[in-house]
């Protein structure tokens, strides 16, 4: 199936690992030129090598999204290199395991850092991307939230930040001036996704028996998801075929969440 995005220019924030890298690969395999940004230069150069194999233009920009200046510099670099952007995936985020179970013991800095890493970063990249998309009368902005942004459970600073991301996309999707200029705004809400060397994987390595029990009890499929399974949905939302999907929050969780 032709997704109609060959030759488009895309930025995937946090695109050097996990869901972000899988999304960047999916876009590159459809012929999109892809920029990624994240902190660790080693991870960035490994990801760059993987993406280059698709024969598209690639950019890797070092940036910590908790530093406002880094976001400005990253976007300026993309502006200078490409002068355009058609697709933005606000993937960077996390913090669901930051702090502790105790609200009293968790500092206010954790709340603000988690909010900034997820919601403020999405706001900043979105504000940068919109004028480009308006000029060219086409754009796709998709934000990676979480099932925790839709329902209770988990640590509140994370749920609040993820709910804010979903709200941001929904509010923008109702702005007629933006959507009539050809831009769509959507969210993907993944459930538990198993990614090497991150939270779930560390839990699995620490106590494989307990991990297996938890998965069988809480995940209808009896397994966690893969980054590629999320990337497939992200890719569709970035495609021309998704032109009527605007303001949606699509759950990609194998049935883990309880809300409708
Ligand atoms: N994995 C899950 O179970 C799951 C479930 C629901 C939602 N999500 C959401 O999916 C998104 C991606 O998560 P993931 O699990 O794929 O994470 P991951 O595998 O840990 O990858 C995170 C990516 O973001 C980059 N990154 C992290 N902190 C950054 C910062 N401060 N500034 C710039 N880049 C940063 C990382 O590179 P560096 O570390 O080098 O910066 C890496 O490229 C997040 O928004 C997360 O909340 C994940």
pLDDT tens column, 108-122: 999 999 999 999 999
Query: What is the distance in A from the centroid of ligand 1 to the CA of 175?
Result: 29
Whether 153 is in a domain gets the answer yes
Whether 210 is in a domain gets the answer no
- DSSP state letter for 193: B
Among 19, 69, 199, 256, residue to substitute to test ligand 1 (most atoms within 8 Å of Cβ): 19
How far is it, in rounded angstroms, from Cα 109 to Cα 226? Answer: 31
User: Three-state secondary structure along 161-176?
Assistant: HHHHHHHHHHHHHCCH
How far is it, in rounded angstroms, from Cα 49 to Cα 201? Answer: 24
What is the reported pLDDT for 254? 98
Q: Whose CA is nearest to atom 38 of ligand 1?
A: 39
Nearest to 256 by CA among 217, 228, 227, 229: 217
Query: What is the distance in A from the centroid of ligand 1 to the CA of 181?
Result: 30
How far is it, in rounded angstroms, from Cα 22 to Cα 231? Answer: 6
Query: What is the distance in A from the centroid of ligand 1 to the CA of 17?
Result: 7
Mean pLDDT of 211-232: 97
Query: What is the distance in A from the centroid of ligand 1 to the CA of 198?
Result: 9
One-character DSSP codes across 35-61 = EEEES-HHHHHHHHHHHHTTTS-EEEE
Among 21, 38, 159, 188, residue to substitute to test ligand 1 (most atoms within 8 Å of Cβ): 38
Whether 169 is in a domain gets the answer yes
Q: Which long-range contacts (CB under 8 A, 24 or more apart) does 195-204 make?
A: 195/17, 195/18, 195/19, 195/227, 198/17, 198/18, 199/96, 199/97, 200/224
Mean pLDDT of the residues in the chain: 97
How far is it, in rounded angstroms, from Cα 179 to Cα 185? Answer: 8
**Phi, psi for 175 (deg, rounded to 5):** -80, 105
**Is the whole model's pTM more than 0.95, yes or no?**
yes
> How many structural domains compose the chain?
1
Does 136 have pLDDT greater than 90? yes
Return the ligand 1 atom nearest residue 39 CA. Answer: 41
Q: Whose CA is nearest to atom 23 of ligand 1?
A: 14
State the CATH number of the domain containing residue 186.
3.40.50.720
With both helix axes pointing from N to C terminus, report the angle between 68-82 and 121-136 in degrees, rounded to the nearest 10. 20
Q: How confident is the model at residue 25 (pLDDT cuts 50, 70, 90)?
A: very high
Mean pLDDT of 67-79: 98
Q: Which domain covers residue 23, as residue numbers?
A: 9-193+226-252
What does DSSP say about strands 58-62 and 87-90: parallel, antiparallel, or unpaired? Answer: unpaired
Whether 59 is in a domain gets the answer yes
Whether 258 is in a domain gets the answer no
Query: What is the distance in A from the centroid of ligand 1 to the CA of 93?
Result: 5
Q: How confident is the model at residue 6 (pLDDT cuts 50, 70, 90)?
A: very high
Report the SS3 class of residue 33. strand
Whether 214 is in a domain gets the answer no
Among 74, 92, 159, 198, residue to substitute to test ligand 1 (most atoms within 8 Å of Cβ): 92
Per residue in 197-210, pLDDT (tens digit) is: 899 999 999 999 99
What is the reported pLDDT for 158? 97
Whether 203 is in a domain gets the answer no
Mean pLDDT of 102-112: 95
List pocket residues of ligand 1, CB cut-off 6 Å: 14, 16-20, 38-40, 43, 63-66, 91-94, 117, 144, 146, 190, 192-193, 195, 198, 200
- DSSP state letter for 113: H
Does 1 have pLDDT greater than 90? no
Return the ligand 1 atom nearest residue 19 CA. Answer: 16
Query: What is the distance in A from the centroid of ligand 1 to the CA of 168?
Result: 19
Whether 220 is in a domain gets the answer no
Q: How confident is the model at residue 189 (pLDDT cuts 50, 70, 90)?
A: very high
Q: How confident is the model at residue 181 (pLDDT cuts 50, 70, 90)?
A: very high
How far is it, in rounded angstroms, from Cα 151 to Cα 146? Answer: 9
What is the reported pLDDT for 202? 94
């Amino acid at each position: 199936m032709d997704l109609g995005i060959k030759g488009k220019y895309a930025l995937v924030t946090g695109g050097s690992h996990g869901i972000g890298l899988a999304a960047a690969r999916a876009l590159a395999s459809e012929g999109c030129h892809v920029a990624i940004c994240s902190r660790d230069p080693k991870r960035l150069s490994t990801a760059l090598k993987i993406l280059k194999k698709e024969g598209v233009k690639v950019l890797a920009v070092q940036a910590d999204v908790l530093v406002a200046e880094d976001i400005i510099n990253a976007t300026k670099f993309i502006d200078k290199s490409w002068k355009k952007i058609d697709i933005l995936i606000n993937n960077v985020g996390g913090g669901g395991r930051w702090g502790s179970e105790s609200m009293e013991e968790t500092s206010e800095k954790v709340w603000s850092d988690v909010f900034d890493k997820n919601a403020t970063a999405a706001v900043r990249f979105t504000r940068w991307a919109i004028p480009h998309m308006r000029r060219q009368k086409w754009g796709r902005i998709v934000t990676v939230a979480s099932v925790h942004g839709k329902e209770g459970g988990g640590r509140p600073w994370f749920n609040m930040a993820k709910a804010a991301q979903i709200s941001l996309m929904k509010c923008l999707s109702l702005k007629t001036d933006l959507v009539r200029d050809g831009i769509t705004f959507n969210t993907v809400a993944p459930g538990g996704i198993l990614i090497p060397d991150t939270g779930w994987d560390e839990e699995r390595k620490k106590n494989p028996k307990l991990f297996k029990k938890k998965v069988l009890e809480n995940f209808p499929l009896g397994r966690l998801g893969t980054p590629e399974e999320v990337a497939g949905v992200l890719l569709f939302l970035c495609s021309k075929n998704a032109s009527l999907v605007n303001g949606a929050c699509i759950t990609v969780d194998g049935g883990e969440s309880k809300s409708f």
